[in-house]
């Protein structure tokens, strides 16, 4: 859960509050979101300082995938291209870490009581499926 803690720490140090405006953070990190028309299953790609995000996605998905890409940028070195089939385990781990980072970055800093996923999604400006996943993650963290 270190990735979640790193996202939470960055949110605190950047003064981010839900729903987070990631623009100042992107600028500070030298990153730019570039709308792009992807085909197939690709929704976001980060190359150098550009985060390409499918231009057909809603604002909550753009916010989530931007935070996800920031997580990749800060947590993982090298490329995100996996050319060998044996690397699937590393990719799964890297994706989980980027998801946890995004949750830490975008969720409220001190949720007193976890609202339902629809309320959490609306409050944080994130997709409802990600809010449901993040709420379960927060419950898992509070149980530890």
* More confident: 141 or 49: 49
End-to-end CA distance of the chain: 11
Tokens of 73: 């940028």
Domains of the chain: 2-143 (1.10.10)
pLDDT in tens, 56-75: 999 999 999 999 999 999 99
Q: Which residues contact 135 (CB under 8 A, 6 or more apart)?
A: 114, 117, 120
* More confident: 125 or 135: 125
CA distances in angstroms from 124 to 3, 19, 117, listed in the order given: 19, 4, 10
For residues 118-137, give the mean pLDDT.
88
pLDDT recorded at residue 86: 52
């Amino acid at each position: 859960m270190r990735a979640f803690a790193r996202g939470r720490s960055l949110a605190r140090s950047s003064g981010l509050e839900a729903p987070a405006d990631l623009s100042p953070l992107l600028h500070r990190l030298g990153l730019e979101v570039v709308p792009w028309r992807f085909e197939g299953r690709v929704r976001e790609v980060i190359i150098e300082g550009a985060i390409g995000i499918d231009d057909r996605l809603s604002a909550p998905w753009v916010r989530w995938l931007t935070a996800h890409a920031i997580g990749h940028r800060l947590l993982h070195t090298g490329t995100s291209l996996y050319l060998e089939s044996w690397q699937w385990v590393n990719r799964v781990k890297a994706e989980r870490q980027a998801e946890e980072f995004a949750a830490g970055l975008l969720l409220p800093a001190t949720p007193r009581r976890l609202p339902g996923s629809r309320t959490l999604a609306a409050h944080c400006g994130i997709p409802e499926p990600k809010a449901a996943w993040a709420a379960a993650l927060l419950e898992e963290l509070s149980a530890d």
